[in-house]
Chain A
């Protein structure tokens, strides 16, 4: 474990691509958070400032940061894993006595630590913003919904495990990035349309993205449909809006898919000739 961490830290921390993407992830998240906090829209019973008060801040930050998981953290893992195939360094490590199992474990360690880093950023941003915007602070208020950070942490691991699997399958960085993004943007959303409404929420990306859903006070689309009761606006039936599973079920399915992604990666690495 310590040996793997040492090896991965040399490879990862000195990788210029990793440093740039991680810095971009950090700076862009802070920028988005800053811009959001500057927006001041007030309507009867609603104020954007409320989003940054405890406990809503956890939901909104986890939701915003989930887009960064998808884009930046997934890309980092594709880059780090794809490089091993492009540079053929996976061969170098195997011939020197690193087992295929250890190779994969090294990548999982990196995923774990990147997820910690990402969750830490969200946690610290949430604490600071919450303390600034909340008037009557209590420990209960701070802790309420703070479990979203843990869910966000798990979601980051799930996204990165998916990216790991894509990188292992396609080997080439460029191809893996294209397939990764295509899967999110096109392949799964289109595939879902061919399945009954009841099955759609069980697709992997849908399950993982639903772990950090749009905060209730922002889910205008679903509310408006319910309020209007207008069948023409029934987005769910035409596949544009799909209801999420209950959180506990999303978590169970998320764990299942994460294990599946890792198992597929393991199987391919075990069987492949390098």
Chain B
């Protein structure tokens, strides 16, 4: 069974606000799938529907090839926004509640507290933890029972750089262990470093989806230096080879039209007698891709 999550035409509306609209996604086993989008784009709503805390208005989704049920949720480790625990209970007692719901042995509690460096605080009350520790406990809860899938919504929210690095390390370790991870984040650098696949949401709709590699190579940025700058720019536009083109100081900075490659551009220059003194290809960061898409 290869497909872990299949979402078909999912929609949700809060009074007059459309949170998500006909959202369809498919997440396969072993993928580290990032959901990106500005605030209010529907990331948390999507994950909340998938994890049963809110109801969809229309559409459907499947977990592990079956209709969603509390039993399918027991196979998933989930952290939605900030972790929700009983403030007056100890870390152990809070995790014991989850372990009991999922029918996992108590021995697993110490294991996950060890992974998240919280073992020494095992008997401290949740309310005494720092923000970073609370977030780590949230991650610990998702790891209980070594689930096949992790669903993480803004897992580094509100953390300092050190806390972010710690959480990222844990996620990368889980990814290396072969888990399927669905992660919603607005920290693009994080998604770029961790994810294999990404979907970008805007106003509740998927505006771009695919592997991170494909998405990033889609828009190669090419820097060219030539003596006949204006003529070359005109020729390229006439030929339809470029998507965007501009002059930046003594360089031409362009992105290629779909189906064109830097080789095509080089060949075109050679055939038309343009001498290229410099041709440098750089990839756009996910951040610039993202910002361009959500414009």
- For A6, A83, A95, A274, the residue with the greatest tally of chain B CB atoms inside 10 Å of its CB is A95
A96 to B51, CA, bound (A): 8
Please tell me if B78 contacts chain A, counting CB pairs below 8 Å: yes
Residue of B nearest to A5 (CB): B100
Collect the chain B residues with CB atoms within 8 Å of residue A273's CB. 48, 53-55
**Nearest CB on B from A218, distance (A):** 42
- Indicate if the CB atoms of B88 and A95 lie closer than 8 Å: no
Total interface residues in chain B, CB < 8 Å:
28
Residue contact B101 to A3, C-beta cutoff 8 Å: yes
Residues of B within 8 A of A14 (CB): 86, 88-89, 93
Q: With A97-B70, A97-B102 known to touch, is A274 a contact of B54 (CB < 8 Å)?
A: yes
Nearest A-chain residue to B77, judged by Cβ: A96
- The 8 A CB mask of A16-27 against B (1 = contact, 0 = none) is 100000000000
Give the docked Cα–Cα distance between A5 and B83 (Å): 24
A92 lies within 8 A of B98 (CB): yes
Are A7 and B97 neighbours in the complex by a CB distance under 8 Å? yes
A273 vs B86: C-alpha distance in the bound complex, in angstroms? 20
B71 and A97: CB pair below 8 A?
A: yes
Q: Mark B53-78, 1 if CB is under 8 A from A, else 0.
A: 11100000000000000110110001
B-side interface mostly = loop
Q: Is the CB of B84 within 8 A of A87?
A: yes
Is B52 located at the chain interface by the 8 A CB criterion?
yes
Q: Does B96 contact A (CB under 8 A)?
A: yes
Instruction: Give complex CA distance A50, B261 in Å.
Output: 103
A contact residues around B48 at 8 Å (CB): 273
Measured between beta carbons, the chain A residues less than 8 angstroms from B89 are: 10-11, 14
Please measure, in the bound complex, the distance between the C-alpha atom of A95 and the C-alpha atom of B80, giving whole angstroms. Answer: 9
Interface string of B90-123 (1 = CB under 8 A from A): 0001001110111100000000000000000000
Whether a CB of chain B sits under 8 angstroms from the CB of A243 is no
- What are 26 inter-chain pairs, A to B, with CB distance below 8 A? A3-B101, A7-B100, A10-B93, A10-B97, A14-B88, A14-B89, A14-B93, A87-B86, A87-B87, A89-B85, A91-B53, A92-B83, A92-B84, A92-B85, A92-B98, A93-B101, A94-B70, A95-B52, A95-B80, A96-B73, A97-B70, A97-B71, A97-B101, A98-B70, A98-B101, A273-B48
Residues of B within 8 A of A (CB): 48, 51-55, 70-71, 73-74, 78, 80, 83-89, 93, 96-98, 100-103, 141
